[in-house]
Structure 1
Amino acid sequence: MKKNIFQLMMALVVTASFTGCSDDRIDYPLAAKADRSGWAITAVSSEQGDGSENTGLASAVLDGDVNTIWHTQYDPDHPGFPHWFVVDMKKPNKMISVDLTARQNNKNGFTKFKLEGSANGETWTNLGEFKFVPATITPQSFPVSSATGYQYLKFTALEGLSVHTFLAEMEVFVNE
């Protein structure tokens, strides 16, 4: 049931993104979770690895474990906003939405962020600015246009309830 509702919502997002197309024969695809195997973090503004498993490193957002997190630096420095990381998805993806899962044991995370896409990791296209609820521990979905395929995805936390930023997981849904 939950999957069917999600697919219906994503079909509406896709339909809205094609408004104005002259070709009325377009087959509107359904959303599918992108395969993250091989994906890598290629750049990060700040991270605080503690040496145990993946906690603190930006790569934690791609490991499938909500108990490991990306955490911006807190020792010895406390850099302020913005905080960001770049994901190399290894091939262009026509993204429909990006799901973010908050840290499970701290409600003081970021509250506003933006997403950007790039074909080459150098020139960026704004995919939108969004509000995030750090107290919500289930995935939060943010629709983006699927009109262009991007190989790189940049996440930038813009504001928050503390100087630090942390995030448990990032999933990307694509046209299939």
Structure 2
Amino acid sequence: GVRPKGKAGKQAAHSLPTEGALPNTGWKIAAVSSENTGNKKFARNAIDGDPLTLWHTQFSKGDPLKHPHEIIIDLGTEHTLKGLRYLARQDGGWNGTIADIEISVSSDPDTFADPVAKTTLKKTREPQQIDFPATKARYIQLRALSEVNDGPWASAAEIGFIGE
């Protein structure tokens, strides 16, 4: 939820709801198409439980890579997944905030079938939920196909999963 404004006049960050969420213990990044290491916008920031850290695709060296951008998350063990939650960056910027998104799941990090969900996210700092049919999987591939302001990047403050 939203907390009242702090001394700096900035809105407190949103965070992902915990209801129905898988705990992020044992999660790792299995693969990522790019991350901006210069300012520590690592892929792992998207699964660290902290809405104030974020993953951002490469932008500080040469031309930024174009869409699609991919991040593959390893949950450590197989779960029955029912949905994904996405939290846009909470630092005031919109760069990389995902618009068109595809989600695929698998038990093998190298092979993903057709997406279990494909949608267009809203331009909001609030958590967004994408439901899909219950599927057993260990790996989730999130593909960002476009950005809310038509920029070439992708970013996420937090990515979480609904399931058991």
**Residue aligning to 2:107:** 119
**Residue aligning to 1:129:** 118
Matched, 1:169 2:154: no
- Which residue type is aligned with residue 155 of structure 1? L
**Residue aligning to 2:10:** none
1:56, 1:144 → 2: CA distance? Answer: 28
Matched, 1:61 2:46: yes
Gaps of 5+ in 2: 1-18
TM value normalised by structure 1? 0.75
TM value normalised by structure 2? 0.80
**Residue aligning to 1:49:** 37
* Aligned equivalent of 1:38, options 5, 21, 26: 26
Moved over 4 A (4+): none
- The root-mean-square deviation of aligned C-alpha atoms, in Å, is 1.4
Q: SS of the residue aligned with 1:159?
A: coil
* Aligned equivalent of 2:59, options 74, 78, 82: 74
- 1:121 CA drift (Å): 1.0
- Pair member with larger Rg: 1
Q: How does 1:18-29 map to 2 (within 5 A)?
A: none
Q: SS of the residue aligned with 1:59?
A: helix
1:116, 1:62 → 2: CA distance? Answer: 17
Count, aligned residues: 140
Q: Deviations over 1:73-126 (max 9, x none)?
A: 002131000111100001111111110000112234221010010111122132
Gaps of 5+ in 1: 1-30
Q: SS of the residue aligned with 1:60?
A: helix
Cα contact 2:117–2:130 (8 A) shared by 1: no
Matched, 1:87 2:73: yes
Give the fraction of aligned pairs with identical amino acids, expressed as a percent.
Answer: 25
Q: SS of the residue aligned with 1:33?
A: coil
